[in-house]
Amino acid sequence: MLLAESISEYIKEKKEPSILSEFRTNAEKLLNSAVFPDSSLESWRKISLSNFKISEYTKVCPDSSVTVSGNAKITKLQDLPVEKLSEVLKKVGPAISFYSKDWFPLFVFSRFTHAYYVQLDSDPSSFPEIKIECKDGNIILPLLIVDAFPGAKSNFIERWESASQKDLLLMSGVTLLLTPPNGDFQYSSLENLGDSTFHFRATYGIQEKDSKFHASLASWGGYKGKSFYDTNVVGKGCWTRYVGLSPLKGREFQDTEVRILHSESHAQSSILYRTVVREKAHHIFTGNLHIPSHCKDVGAIQINNNLLMDRTARAESIPKLEVFADSVKCEHGATVGEIDEEQLFYLASRGISEEEARKMIVEGFLNEVVREFPSETVREELSSMIESRMLGK
């Protein structure tokens, strides 16, 4: 299927319920007034899109590009009963308001190619998973709405994958993560992308009263991309945690931004993001903790650590604290450095080769993040990936 230039033509081809068509049309109106990202926008000033032309991406990946597994109820939006669909689309409203001037999320809201509603169960040993691939086409625009289970622990894994090829691909999506009162939601995101993939993501979470939300992020590969991970803490007594890692090589470029908005008092949040970059790879991390004046008893911390494997590699850290309240405790820290020669010397004095020493240092640096992924299978996968990407030839 071709992504028609006219959204009305595309909607007609999809044969969707009228309520879903209306949702797209309203998003299209916002899109028409949004500014396409360029260096004049604060969040986009570090990434150049001079060689990105949206008109080149018209061949939509087929339904088979999205696969699901595990114990979760996953339904296409267009297959939901009208009453349920109306209820689900109302839940998307806060995300549309949040991204009301952001071009790429609005593009997804208006022209999503694959859209699913996910209802998680309360089995803490279950790891339901959705895999999104860009294959047999050059564009995929997924929209996911994920409802965690109230009053219990639930898990969800989201994967993005693409292969390297001659022509460029576009993967751009929006994921809405809903943590209900007293919920304990553990979300994992893994991106394994080929070197010909443009990738743009917006992940928006809403946390209600006395809930816990833990996000584990791993992103590697890709040609060029920008990812927003946003959480709005709308209830009191919440706990929020983001951990992430990006092992990059070659000429890979990634721009990652994590933003936590504290809208209520008595909450704790933290961010830990680590990157290892080699060759001519480039990573940018921005962390933003926002605490308005009416919030009390809030603790927030963000840490970003970057390890450079080569002098040609680049890593930038941009910590932001927007704190307007008095009764809060906030901290931030950032480091960018190379492997310590004294560490190599110490390990060499214990009979460890330089290659093995570098392996130990890199693994030790990233393992603190890897350990926080709730799935043992994913932890093993990440350990293997880190060794091959960062220490292979």
pLDDT > 60? residue 339: yes
In a domain, 1, yes or no: no
When mean pLDDT is compared across 66-75, 232-241, 367-376, the lowest value belongs to 66-75
3-class DSSP state for residue 392? coil
Res 176: pLDDT: 98
Given 341, 356, 376, which residue is the final one in a domain? 341
DSSP of 146-185, one letter per residue? EEPPTTSEEEEEEEEEE---SS-EEEEEEEEEEE-TT-EE
What is the average per-residue pLDDT within 336-364?
Answer: 73
* Whether the Cβ atoms of residue 260 and residue 231 lie closer than 8 Å to each other: yes
Task: Specify the pTM.
Answer: 0.94
Residues 331 and 359 in one domain: no
In a domain, 121, yes or no: yes
Residues 336 and 346 in one domain: no
Given 299, 318, 341, which residue is the final one in a domain? 341
What is the average per-residue pLDDT within 288-311?
Answer: 93
Rounded Cα distance between 137 and 61, Å, is: 4
Residues 233 and 214 in one domain: yes
Distances (CA, A) of 156 to 66, 103, 174, 350: 15, 27, 15, 43
Residues 182 and 75 in one domain: yes
In a domain, 82, yes or no: yes
Given 319, 341, 363, which residue is the final one in a domain? 341
Q: Which residue has the tokens 């911390």?
A: 301
Residues 298 and 286 in one domain: yes
Res 345: pLDDT: 60
Distances (CA, A) of 149 to 153, 167, 178, 211, 217: 7, 41, 9, 11, 21
Res 346: pLDDT: 60
Residues 173 and 220 in one domain: yes
Residues 331 and 379 in one domain: no
In a domain, 329, yes or no: yes
Res 392: pLDDT: 67
Residues 262 and 383 in one domain: no
Res 1: pLDDT: 43
Res 330: pLDDT: 87
Confidence of residue 347 (pLDDT cuts 50, 70, 90): low
Residues 325 and 353 in one domain: no
- pLDDT tens digit string along 91-139? 999 999 999 999 999 999 999 999 999 999 888 888 999 999 999 999 9
Rounded Cα distance between 107 and 52, Å, is: 15
In a domain, 2, yes or no: no
Domain containing 363: what range? 342-392
Residues 236 and 371 in one domain: no
Residues 246 and 388 in one domain: no
pLDDT > 80? residue 342: no
In a domain, 235, yes or no: yes
Res 206: pLDDT: 98
- pLDDT tens digit string along 240-260? 999 999 999 999 999 999 999
pLDDT > 70? residue 159: yes
What is the average per-residue pLDDT within 290-294?
Answer: 92
Confidence of residue 368 (pLDDT cuts 50, 70, 90): very high
Residues 156 and 268 in one domain: yes
Res 334: pLDDT: 92
Q: What total number of domains does the chain contain?
A: 2
When mean pLDDT is compared across 127-141, 333-347, 366-380, the lowest value belongs to 333-347
